[in-house]
Structure 1
Amino acid sequence: MGSHRFFIIFSLSLCFFLSELPGSFSSSQQQVQNSSSSGFHVHQEIPEAVRLQIQENYVVVDNGFLQLTISNPEGFIIGIQYNGLSNLLEVLNDEAERGYWDLVWSDESTTRKKGNFDRMDGTSFKVILQNEEQIELSFTRTWNSSLHGKIVPLNIDKRYVILSGSSGFYTYAIYEHLKEWPAFDLDNTRIAFKLRKDKFHYMAIADDRQRYMPLPNDRLEGRGQVLAYPEAVLLVNPIEPEFKGEVDDKYEYSCESRNNGVHGWISNDSAVGFWLITPSYEFRSGGPLKQFLTSHVGPTTLSVFHSTHYVGADMIAKFGANEPWKKVFGPVFVYLNSLSDHGDPLSLWQDAKKQMMLEVQCWPYDFPASQDFSPSDQRGHVCGRLLVIDRHLSDENIPADGAYVGLAPPGDVGSWQLESKGYQFWVIADEDGQFTISNVRPGGYNLYAWVPGFIGDYKYDTVINISAGCDITIGDLVYEPPRNGSTLWEIGIPDRSAAEFYIPDPNPNYVNKLYLNHTDRFRQYGLWERYTELYPDGDLVFTIGTSDYAKDWFFQQVTRKINNNTYQGTTWQIKFKLDGVDQCGTYKLRLALATANVADLQVRINDPNANSSLFSTGIFGKDNTIARHGIHGIYRLFNIDIPGAQIIQGNNTIFLTQASSTSPFQGIMYDYIRLEGLPSSNTIKKI
């Protein structure tokens, strides 16, 4: 086992008291010495041996830092004793609703709209590994044909690992669908912790996304008023008056996978931090940009591994009959820290970030006992360089500086956005386009990439087969983004986000104070309603060469509200002037979309009332990004031919109509728009 497990920079208080939890160990005291410089407990002794106590209904593990109580054989975490607190989890909840894995699934017999909720109760318990340095426990549930339609057709193995000298514990799970088992759909799966609402009031997700939070009772009838959907509640009579008039919505705290490494809560009165650290997102679905829930009012903290949020039904993992599948989710690390003096409790966040970096450096872990988890010596590495060729920008190949380069299961170009059954491994290329993807699990992969500043997706068609210990060099790869001719004009930045466009101030009656004067102002509730207020009589008109997309291009093209129950589609105009037109040629309009939700985008030129559109998507997209305060969902690129005969010399107008209009949440967000001339055109006009 790696020596890093025995060296914890910021150790914690080791004073434990008798607990009311079943099977609790007696209180133990370990010698500690306070660090005056950091205010954290610093462990000076040889770590205690990890101890295990097995009872009829509970399993209790203690490593001197914390005591973990798990139901037997269900595998629910019912108690975490730490730093003098008999339980960090909400003792008022049922034992199955404190710390647990869960999933949502469906099959041909499912009638519930959102599928079947399953807390994955174990039916068998086993000690996998026990010595003074480590204990690993397994809680399993085995499927058979008599359970068809009753529970998800998966064998499930939930694991918990406690190491000596570690101020926390690890958990991971193995899901397996065997050949000849029935088909089913997996909507989402995660691990959840419900903390004590009388203790944990301060939530931290990022350096600039942390705050004191309302109480869960503030969302109840009489104190909270449900808004457009159940997740969003206006706090009208909160227990703490400072929250009056704010909107609470768990989706305001979502986070992209690439930034979702640590989040959690601080208990100020006891100076204790509870953190969920995810050291790798290789086992999460959807790649680096996929957005997941994190922590929210409860106090609740989550590690979500697979979900349809910000993507929709296309992200559902669909398993056919006779389709074998196995996947390891995790391990993730529950990290606990505390202060040894009266220092600033918010410094616990800084410590949690440092611990996250230690966990990242140790990935892949060397301690999981399951053969299904691949340690570093069973993994491979791939390196190369990505270049971009765009002769309308440069005569030389352009290094793909900042490109996201990843390995994901074989599929079509861009398929990694919807991939949910396998593993993905992503890195960012350096300024020369060089990349090294390390610690890749064995298997066959395609290499995918996208480059900020350029439209489209790259795919290396040759399947890359990874085996234990392999070190593959694939040399220079060249991505040629879609390009027809020189840029006549462009709107926005090709970065798969609508963040650069105009984002209005929120309605003062529906604010989250965290996001006032914040870079993530798009996370405010109800911004879709602001479009109608800003454009009450007519839709957006953008003039090339005069308008500024940061001020004049609303970040989401949504419906206009007519009354409480009626909406209408909207038509935006892009006005531009061309001094010369080749009416025998074909121009190209590139529409890169950051998201779409039950939208119907139609494109016309110079005649908004033309019976037939130049281009129409039909109804598409179920990202639901607008309602969930996102700035992007699934990236889509449409390449539209515009016959030169439809363009006139002088002033022209492109009409973008979003025709679907049955709800306020239908619409699109643009990433980037570009009109290209003919291949021989040299006219470039950027705004």
Structure 2
Amino acid sequence: MGSLWSILQILGFAAVFTFATAGPIEGRVKRKSFLKQVDNSTWVIGNGIWNVTQGRQYATKLWYKNKDLVDEAVGHYVSYNGAASDLNWTSAAIVDEGSDYINVRFTAREGDFHWVIYDDLAGAYQYFVNHALPVLGEFRTLWRLDNETFPNGRTNERDGPLPPLSEYRAATNVQDETWQKADGTFLTKYDWSAFLREVDFYGVYGNEVGSWYFNPGKDYYNGNHLKQELMIHRESRTGDAVQLNMIHGTHFQALSQDAFADGKTWGPWLWYLNDGSKEDAARRAKEEERAWPYKWFNNVAYQSRGSIWGKLVLSDGRPAAGAAVFLGDNNSDKTTLDQGKDYYYTTYADEDGTFNIGNVRSGTYGLYAWSNGGKLADVATSVIQNDVTISKGKYTDLKTITWKVTDRKSRIFQLGDFDRQTTGFRGSTPPYGHGRIATCPSNLTYTIGISKPSDWCFGQSSLGTNSIVFPVSSIPESAASAKLIVSLAGFSSGSSADILLNGQKLGNITTGSLSTSQDTYRGATRAGEWYLLEFLVKKEVLKTGENRVEFTVTRSTQWRGWLWDSILLEWV
């Protein structure tokens, strides 16, 4: 076998293809999909279109269109907690097969990684079944591919050339995978991030070939609507084109450490090769969405699904138009962004507050809802309803859910819409830009009734004061006090601020009261980990005429600070 393998390595694709099609499975000479074992730690899988050599950790020698798409790069692998733990495959076997496909299982101590290979498919469906993963934050599969073959990257947020390796070598490293060029601009892999549940398809491509991921359904991802992840990038040390599949990630979160049940399954998703055409990839992405959940996937829990319907109505009688709706963990003490041990579903209510979610895995969930701006821009409260049961083939009707809100007449002022994002503020778009928070003014004054939201910067970090000047026409006798609500769309520790109203300190924004998320210093400008802070204001602190709220930064760390969502003062 050793001498045969040497010949295969020399002859490349043609030799492997001849060897594979000669008899991929005994008695099935027409089968093009195949698994061939070379030795106790090397296997070759593929079909008549592509094939790859899988070693103990890395899959290399990806042959497609008579070319090795990995070349000097690392190849394909599965790992958790960053690059700390790459899975080691101890065996491989065909565990299922049909007239035109095979399901190849690679086994590691932590679980099983599957390649479902169809005879006529340029690529493969992939999924992972947990057996012994530790408590973790990051779990991923990925390709690291030849840098010359794949010079470009595409997500729904960004499309164009990946920075060449030469740019990194001429720049100065200033933090984790972030480099400053001589002209003062930055190179950072985090520019190639995206909101996971908004992604249609993504990958790396060139003039002759493209490598793409399609993740329809997305119910195995952790987090809510605002879950962001790194998708692709240029590896700064070697130049590899990196195509990430962060199936459980933490790149823009405070914490998402989860323990998984034996049998927890991520996927299936489709890894797909073509001639580099984004139009073809877009077409295929739509096909995969229509086909989800996949009927061919022979898994009882995966196929056991039901649906849910409900209507959200605010306590003041308004329909909860456009509300963000999340089906997640039951009776959880985690934020919806940080939930990640099971399966998760997101949608938005329509104009009359009605929401529907189909193809939900059977189980018991918690239902969560919050404002996504628009007609709910003034709604600071949210909804939680636990013990929501989904059964196979059943339609769960939650009927009408009343959402308690405060009287809008009690509002003194509001700056920004409640939507857990920096919507409308200066610098909030596009959603990624390293160092942009440092361009926000150190001192800024916003006058209610005169200034507009775009005058307020999306974040705060530098030493100085952001002030809101607002009028009070009269002090209502019925009010016992007032309440200042500060909604943050993100917070990275290292900077702190005192909050004052007419010179009286109400509290602060600081690491002492908030856990840090990895958002502002990784260039997030739209959202990160959401926090809602409330401060009681004594009635006598307010006065008729002009009043002032101040956020004075007392400690500043470069690129670390907070993202603004909304600031509201109301009588209570």
TM-score normalised per structure 2 = 0.87
Residue by residue over 1:457-499, the C-alpha shift from the partner in whole angstroms, topping out at 9 and shown as x without a partner, is 5334340222322221111112223557432221112221114
The letter for the 1-side match of 2:295 is: D
Residue by residue over 1:398-437, the C-alpha shift from the partner in whole angstroms, topping out at 9 and shown as x without a partner, is 2323222221111358732211211101122222222221
Partner residue, 1:316:
257
Whether 1:307 and 2:246 are equivalent positions in the alignment is no
Whether 1:352 and 2:281 are equivalent positions in the alignment is yes
CA contact (8 A) 1:414 1:448 kept: no
User: What is the Cα deviation at residue 558 of structure 1?
Assistant: 0.4
Query: Which of 524, 542, 549 matches 2:453?
Result: 549
Residue by residue over 1:134-191, the C-alpha shift from the partner in whole angstroms, topping out at 9 and shown as x without a partner, is 111111123xxxxxxxxxxxx311111112332321111112349xxxxx53120111
Partner residue, 1:37:
none
Partner residue, 1:478:
402
The alignment covers a number of residue pairs equal to 541
The letter for the 2-side match of 1:229 is: Q
Instruction: Report matched runs for 1:376-455 at 5 Å.
Output: 378-389=304-315, 391=316, 397-412=317-332, 415-453=335-373, 454=376, 455=379
Partner residue, 2:69:
88
Instruction: Report matched runs for 1:478-627 at 5 Å.
Output: 478-483=402-407, 485-503=409-427, 519-520=429-430, 523-531=432-440, 534-535=441-442, 539-550=443-454, 552-560=455-463, 570-582=464-476, 585-598=480-493, 599-607=495-503, 610=504, 613-619=505-511, 620-627=514-521
Partner residue, 2:5:
none
SS in 2 for 1:418: coil
CA–CA distance in structure 2, aligned partners of residues 621 and 194 of structure 1: 33
CA–CA distance in structure 2, aligned partners of residues 253 and 127 of structure 1: 36
Residue by residue over 1:502-537, the C-alpha shift from the partner in whole angstroms, topping out at 9 and shown as x without a partner, is 129xxxxxxxxxxxxxx51x5233223323xx44xx
CA–CA distance in structure 1, aligned partners of residues 381 and 295 of structure 2: 35
Partner residue, 1:277:
214
SS in 2 for 1:197: coil
Structure 1 spans left out of the alignment, 5+ residues: 1-16, 30-46, 105-113, 143-154, 179-183, 237-243, 339-344, 392-396, 505-518, 561-569, 679-687
Query: Which of 127, 144, 147 matches 2:94?
Result: 127
Partner residue, 1:670:
564
CA contact (8 A) 2:123 2:273 kept: yes
The letter for the 2-side match of 1:544 is: I
The letter for the 2-side match of 1:25 is: F
CA contact (8 A) 2:331 2:386 kept: no
The letter for the 2-side match of 1:543 is: T
User: What is the Cα deviation at residue 657 of structure 1?
Assistant: 2.9
Partner residue, 2:172:
225
User: What is the Cα deviation at residue 366 of structure 1?
Assistant: 2.3
The letter for the 2-side match of 1:302 is: L
CA–CA distance in structure 2, aligned partners of residues 406 and 604 of structure 1: 35
> Considering only aligned residues, what root-mean-square deviation do their CA atoms show, in Å?
2.8
CA–CA distance in structure 1, aligned partners of residues 168 and 51 of structure 2: 32
User: Between the two proteins, what is the percent identity of the paired residues?
Assistant: 24
Partner residue, 1:34:
none
TM-score normalised per structure 1 = 0.73
Partner residue, 1:659:
554
Partner residue, 1:361:
290
CA–CA distance in structure 1, aligned partners of residues 284 and 536 of structure 2: 52
User: What is the Cα deviation at residue 49 of structure 1?
Assistant: 4.3
CA–CA distance in structure 1, aligned partners of residues 13 and 402 of structure 2: 60
User: What is the Cα deviation at residue 368 of structure 1?
Assistant: 3.1
**Gap change, CA 1:665 and 1:245, over 3 Å in 2:** closer
Partner residue, 1:629:
523
Whether 1:102 and 2:102 are equivalent positions in the alignment is no
Whether 1:374 and 2:299 are equivalent positions in the alignment is no
SS in 2 for 1:410: coil
CA–CA distance in structure 1, aligned partners of residues 228 and 402 of structure 2: 29
Partner residue, 2:4:
none
**Gap change, CA 1:481 and 1:629, over 3 Å in 2:** farther
CA–CA distance in structure 2, aligned partners of residues 280 and 447 of structure 1: 18
Partner residue, 1:77:
59
CA–CA distance in structure 2, aligned partners of residues 399 and 461 of structure 1: 18
SS in 2 for 1:258: helix
Deviates more, 1:17-26 or 1:621-630: 17-26
User: What is the Cα deviation at residue 659 of structure 1?
Assistant: 3.4
CA–CA distance in structure 1, aligned partners of residues 334 and 465 of structure 2: 29
CA contact (8 A) 2:192 2:231 kept: yes
Query: Which of 156, 160, 163 matches 2:111?
Result: 156
The letter for the 2-side match of 1:481 is: V
CA–CA distance in structure 2, aligned partners of residues 28 and 124 of structure 1: 19
**Gap change, CA 1:416 and 1:433, over 3 Å in 2:** same
User: What is the Cα deviation at residue 293 of structure 1?
Assistant: 0.4
Partner residue, 2:25:
none
Partner residue, 2:27:
none
**Gap change, CA 1:399 and 1:414, over 3 Å in 2:** farther
CA contact (8 A) 1:187 1:316 kept: yes
CA–CA distance in structure 2, aligned partners of residues 185 and 251 of structure 1: 25
Partner residue, 1:215:
164
CA–CA distance in structure 2, aligned partners of residues 429 and 19 of structure 1: 58
User: What is the Cα deviation at residue 267 of structure 1?
Assistant: 1.4
SS in 2 for 1:335: strand
**Gap change, CA 1:99 and 1:381, over 3 Å in 2:** same
Whether 1:459 and 2:383 are equivalent positions in the alignment is yes
The letter for the 1-side match of 2:338 is: L
CA–CA distance in structure 2, aligned partners of residues 286 and 588 of structure 1: 30
SS in 2 for 1:315: coil
Whether 1:187 and 2:137 are equivalent positions in the alignment is yes
**Gap change, CA 1:666 and 1:246, over 3 Å in 2:** closer
CA contact (8 A) 1:257 1:287 kept: no
CA–CA distance in structure 1, aligned partners of residues 515 and 192 of structure 2: 23
User: What is the Cα deviation at residue 379 of structure 1?
Assistant: 1.1
SS in 2 for 1:330: strand
The letter for the 2-side match of 1:78 is: T
SS in 1 for 2:418: coil
CA–CA distance in structure 2, aligned partners of residues 402 and 621 of structure 1: 29
Whether 1:20 and 2:3 are equivalent positions in the alignment is no
User: What is the Cα deviation at residue 638 of structure 1?
Assistant: 2.1
CA contact (8 A) 1:77 1:99 kept: yes
CA contact (8 A) 1:50 1:131 kept: no
The letter for the 1-side match of 2:95 is: I
CA contact (8 A) 1:588 1:677 kept: yes
**Gap change, CA 1:28 and 1:457, over 3 Å in 2:** farther
SS in 1 for 2:16: coil
